[in-house]
Amino acid sequence: MPDPIPLSTVKSLLTEEAQKRTLPREAALAQGHAESFARLTPEQTAKLISELRGLPSIDANLAVKIADVLPQYPEEVRVLFSKERILLDEAQLTRLLELIAQYR
């Protein structure tokens, strides 16, 4: 399975492509979504994903989700982990939120 692509990278790629040609409707909608919701640069996102991957139990897919959403509260993190078979203890949850807070 290919690696997931963070929203900030999608934004950058679609912006570059839009400068070259008119984007199809679906791509233009995706670009609008990415512009509205991507809060970090691709470089910041890559660094955050790398740091998240260093934490136990966080794979590439989950790291990208977390980097795209940038949760602030424990409840938001729990929602992202709800489909995973991982239970975070309070120390892990606190560490994760502290790491994310450095990028807000």
Of the chain, the percentage scoring pLDDT greater than 90 comes to 87
**Is 1 inside a domain boundary?**
no
pLDDT band, residue 37 (cuts 50/70/90)? very high
Closest by Cα among 84, 89, 38, 79 to 58: 84
Q: Return d(Cα 104, Cα 94) in angstroms, integer.
A: 15
**59-91 pLDDT per residue, tens:** 999 999 999 999 999 999 999 998 888 888 999
* pLDDT recorded at residue 17: 97
| Residues contacting 29, CB < 8 A, separation 6+ | none
This prediction's pTM = 0.90
Residue 2 maps to a domain: no
CA distance 23 to 69: 25
Same domain, yes or no: 74 and 56: yes
Split into its structural domains, the chain has a count of 2
**Same structural domain, 50 and 96:** yes
| Cβ-contact 31, 14 below 8 angstroms | yes
What pLDDT score was predicted for residue 34?
97
Return d(Cα 89, Cα 72) in angstroms, integer: 17
Judgement on whether residues 78 and 61 belong to the same structural domain of the protein: yes
* Range of the structural domain that residue 24 is part of: 7-37
